[in-house]
Amino acid sequence: MSVFHKIVCFLMAIVVLFSTMAITIDMHYCGDTLVDTAVFQNTRKCGMEIDNSIKTTGDSTMTKNCCHDKQIIMEGQDELQLKTDTFSFEQQVFLTSFVYTYSNRFKGLDKKVSFYKEYEPPLVNRQLYKIDESYLI
């Protein structure tokens, strides 16, 4: 295999890997300031969160939390098309034989090899066509 072919195969494997992988990025903000960012795991909290179950006395309003979390999800491709078409056994045999013969079609045409180069023709003692020839008189 050539080096170019290996590089192309490696890059195609990387493309398939990243197209099927899902990535989740979690971000924790305290006010408008980004405190923590995490990939593939939960973020650490800053400790400024207020429990939403606590209510103020008198009003039934909830206290406002200054911290909030943001999550970015990049979905990967869940299903790959593994089978594009089904070929019968006869079609597979035809296709492989066609590719094999076409790839070897022009191999060795630039060499003109003569297997009889070292052999000399036999000496003719008598002419055989006159022996078997018949004449009408």
- Distance of alpha carbon 112 from alpha carbon 41, whole angstroms: 69
Residue 33 belongs to a domain: yes
Residue 29 is assigned to a structural domain of this protein: yes
Amino acid at the residue 90: E
Closest CA to 37 of 73, 69, 76, 65: 69
Domain range for 38 is 23-45+62-77
This prediction has a pTM of 0.39
Answer yes or no: is 66 within a domain.
yes
Split into its structural domains, the chain has a count of 1
Each residue's pLDDT tens digit in the chain (137 positions)? 689 999 999 999 998 888 888 888 888 888 888 888 888 777 777 777 655 555 445 555 555 677 888 888 888 776 666 666 677 889 889 999 998 888 877 676 566 667 777 778 777 776 666 666 777 76
Q: Is 5 a member of any domain? A: no
